Structures are given as structure tokens and as C-alpha cells.
Amino acid sequence: MSERRTIGFDRELRLEWLDAAAARAAVGATPADARVYLNEHLADALGGEGRSGNRGKTVTVLCRIWVNVPHRCEQIQANAVGLLGVVEPEERVALHWAMAMSAYPFFGEVAAVVGRLLDLQGDVERQAVIRRVVETWGDRPAVSRACRAVWTSMTGWGVLSETDRRGRYRRRTTLRHVSPAVAGLLCEVANGGTDPSRMGPRETVVGPALFPFDVSNTPNARSVKARQVEVSLRASSSRPTIHRH
């Protein structure tokens, strides 16, 4: 099975757990050290001993997102780690979102389905999301279970809230503002790892998978300097135009 067709993201992840994993990445912890730390950190919340237990599987997902990332995600990880210390606390969810999309394409596809349905209807039903994802990933228990894990994680991260109609959800708030550097990272992931500041004005497309965030302020030379953070998002002389579908 190809990496793209591997689901992987099949555990509910809390923001505090992702923050802990990101902190291990920021100090350069090895995957083994990060696993030990996260196992202890999650001990009161999750049971199951060893890698095959609930806690062990959750630690595996956390490490793949922030610590033991796939080779193709290493530059994204370096950029995200460089931003951890300078972003506002409420922006960290955007960094987790970018890393989850980068490490687990399944997460990005579920997010895209949610975003499209929100744009079409204004709200979304979980079962409708599962049905759409099953169409491309197959009707098997692992797909439904992983969809629920992504959905539960998103609601826990505060991007979706239940409406007056039971089982239907909407965006919890208006689009979340993020700094230009974080917006650029999100767009880079959404565009398959291509730095948006190097793309032409018609090339940067903001897909529905970024539905919680306002990424209209992608990075340029002025904004990166204003944040006083040097990341590998190289600036271009023209600001890309964003197209949201």
C-alpha cells in the first residue's frame, strides 16, 4: 500500500498532547526520547501498555506529526519548529494543522471534505463527511474509525461546534487570523510543499482543507521582517493572489 493510501491518523489528538510533541521537536529530542516523554505525559489520560495499546498508538501518531516525520516533511517540520517560539498561542493550532496535513494526507482529505460542505451548506454532518471519504478510501471500518478520530480532534481544537440541529456542525468562529509566516506554511502544505512566495499570482490555490484559517496574508519580505523570524519561506517581489474554492 502506498504511503498516500495509508490512513495513519486514527486517534483523537488533544491540543495539549500536540503541544507536548511540538515541544519535544523544538528541543531536538530523538524519536525514542520523545516516545518516553509522551508516554509519561499521556499516562493519566490513556491506558494501554506498549506500542500496540491505545496510548502507544496515540504516541506514534503524535511523533509522526512532529518528531519522527516522513522524509518529505522534514523542511515543513523545520519551518514549523522555527515558528513555535514566535507565534501567538492561538496560532499553534494552525501549526499543528499544517503538520498533520503534511504527515497524514488522510487528515487533509477529511479536512477538505469538511471545508467543501461548509462552503456549500454553511454546516456539516459527520455522517455526510464519512460517506464522502468512504467513496475514495473504501468502505472499511478503519476508514470510518479514522474519520471519527479526525472529526473529534477538530471539534476538540475549537474549529467546529454543534448547531441547534443535532449532529450538524458549523465553524466555531469566523476565519482565524494567522501571521503571514504561518499563512505561508499552511499554503505551502496545501500546495504540495511548494513555497507560495515563489509561485505566480495565479498559482497559489487555497483549498477547502484550510477552512478554519484566514490565509490571505501569505508571506512577503515586509511581513517576515516584521515578525523578526527567519524561516525558509523565501519572499518574492509580488504578493500572490489567493483563490478559495
> pTM (2 decimals)?
0.82
Answer whether 42's CB lies under 8 Å from 17's CB: yes
For 43-79, the pLDDT digits (tens) are 999 987 777 789 999 999 999 999 999 999 999 999 9
Closest CA to 115 of 193, 231, 213: 213
Q: Euclidean distance between the first and final Cα of the chain, in Å?
A: 30
> Domain spans of the chain?
105-171, 176-244
What is the band of 98 on the pLDDT scale with cuts at 50, 70, 90?
very high
Answer whether 13's CB lies under 8 Å from 54's CB: no
Secondary structure string (H, E, C) spanning 58-94 = HHHHHHHHHCCCCHHHHHHHHHHHHHHCCCCHHHHHH
State residue 115's pLDDT score.
94
Cα dist. 205→69, 202, 213, 234, 235 in Å? 25, 8, 14, 18, 17
For 104-160, the pLDDT digits (tens) are 999 999 999 999 999 998 899 989 999 999 998 988 899 999 999 999 999 999 999
Percent of the chain whose predicted confidence (pLDDT) is above 70: 81
Closest CA to 171 of 221, 227, 210, 228: 210
| Residues linked to residue 56 through DSSP beta bridges, in sequence order | none
What is the band of 26 on the pLDDT scale with cuts at 50, 70, 90?
very high
Considering 14-18, 44-48, 163-167, 176-180, the range whose residues carry the highest mean pLDDT is 14-18
C-alpha cell at 63: 511523533
Q: What fold does the segment set 105-171 form as a domain?
A: Arc Repressor Mutant, subunit A (1.10.10)
